[in-house]
Structure formats: C-alpha cells, structure tokens
Amino acid sequence: MEEITTEAQLRALLGEPARAALDKERDSLHELDRQWLAHSPLCLVATSDADGRCDVSPKGDPPGWVLVLDDRTIALPERAGNRRADGFRNVLANPHVGLVFLLPGRTDTLRINGRARLVTEAGLLDRMVVKGHRPLLALVVDIEQVFHHCGKAFLRSQLWEPGTWDTEAVPSRARIAQRLERPDEPLAQLEAYYGPGYAAGLYPPTAGPQPRSSTPPGTGASGS
C-alpha cells in the first residue's frame, strides 16, 4: 500500500488551498456565529488524550443549549449519559478540542477549535437547566479558531435527503446491544428499553449527582 508520509507529498497531490479558505479563519465569534450557535441542536466534540488517541462524541439539546459567555468563550452542558466520560478524560490530559455545530437541513457547518476545561460553577450550571435537568458540569471552550465549512460532504452523502434514508438497513439498537454488549439480556427487554419510553429518561430532574441506574450500561445520550 502506497502511503503519503510528508506534507510535500500531500501538497503535490492535493495542491494548495485557496486564499479564501485560509483567510476565513477567525479567533472570535461574529454575530453570524452567535446566530448559528443559537439555532444548532447538535455538536460533534473531538478530543484526544496525551498520546494522541482520539474520540468524537455527539452532544445535543434543544436549540439555545450552547451558552456564549463572550466573543471568545462558549459553554456546553453535560447531560445524563453512560458515564464513560471518554472525551472529558481526554480534556483532563489534553485540553485541545475541535467542535462541529450542525443545523438540520443545512449542508454547511460551523467549526470551532480551542482549549477546553471542565467547570462546575453553580451560577453557570443554573443557566443550563433543561426540562428540570441541571447538568453536573459544563465544557467551557476558549476559542482559538472559528470558521464556517462548506457543505460538500453533506451534499455527497445526501444526509438530509429523506429518500436516501434506510433505517432498516442494519439491525435495531436493541439487537446490536444484545449481540455486542448484553448477550444475556432478553431481546424483548432491550426492545422495551429502547422503545417509545426511551426519550422519557433523557432529562432526569436532578440538582446533584445522579444515582446509578439498573438500565443497561453504555446506552446514554451523551456522557463521553
């Protein structure tokens, strides 16, 4: 297998980026960035540990969940999840993070890179209550780089085109859980857990540490 091992080889193959692609980087939020963050319900958070092992974790809430603290600082709440805390453990070892904010139906995205820290300041968490759930902590990101990314990947993938969706192409979440994670759990029990009532547990009212649950591990909405 032929490999590219130097930037010179990479540039010889891909060419140089256009000046506009380079110049669009900024180090603080514009009003248009604030509008995007106010309407985005989902963010992909990329982290790596001290040895470079990477993790990407989805974080989401109703629009308005991202707090803009100032032009160079944003905060994301942590909701009830599977408690793996992969990304958060990475942040403790290596604060550099990359964020991609999505808008449903839009092919362009907002990218923010910076340095993150885990914060438990009561006044901040009090501003992040959703449906009675107060987060236990927040990921505060000091912005170093922000820019809007074109939609070519979304256009190629047809992500937002309902005609391309095939939700039955792979086994259900319950069947995957039984096959890979919970082989001793009855399928009917897992299907009931992942059924219509699954959404009811997304925002457990709490003002402090959440008690351990008897529900299957590894099934949270976030937490990594």
Domain span including residue 75: 15-156
Helix (H, G, I), strand (E, B) or coil at 66: coil
Residues 172, 111 share a domain: no
Examine residue 220 and state whether it is found in any structural domain, yes or no.
no
* H or E stretch at 57: strand 54-60
Residues 185, 91 share a domain: no
Examine residue 177 and state whether it is found in any structural domain, yes or no.
yes
Helix (H, G, I), strand (E, B) or coil at 139: strand
Residues 110, 187 share a domain: no
Q: Which two tokens stand for residue 49?
A: 């540990």
Higher-pLDDT residue of 217 and 41 is 41
Residues 62, 138 share a domain: yes
Residue 200: predicted pLDDT = 87
Sorted by sequence, the CB contacts under 8 Å of residue 208 that are 6+ apart come out as 136
Question: For 2-33, what is each residue's pLDDT tens digit?
Answer: 999 999 999 999 999 999 999 999 999 999 99
Split at pLDDT 50, 70, 90, the class of 218 is very low
Identify the CATH number of the domain in which residue 128 sits.
2.30.110.10
Examine residue 102 and state whether it is found in any structural domain, yes or no.
yes
Residues 115, 34 share a domain: yes
Helix (H, G, I), strand (E, B) or coil at 48: strand
Given a cut of 80, whether residue 212 has pLDDT beyond it is no
User: What percent of the chain stands above pLDDT 70?
Assistant: 92
Given a cut of 90, whether residue 70 has pLDDT beyond it is yes
Residues 128, 31 share a domain: yes
Residue 201: predicted pLDDT = 86
Q: Which two tokens stand for residue 43?
A: 């963010």
Given a cut of 90, whether residue 115 has pLDDT beyond it is yes
Residues 102, 175 share a domain: no
Residue 80: predicted pLDDT = 82
User: How many domains does the structure of the chain reveal?
Assistant: 2
Examine residue 209 and state whether it is found in any structural domain, yes or no.
no
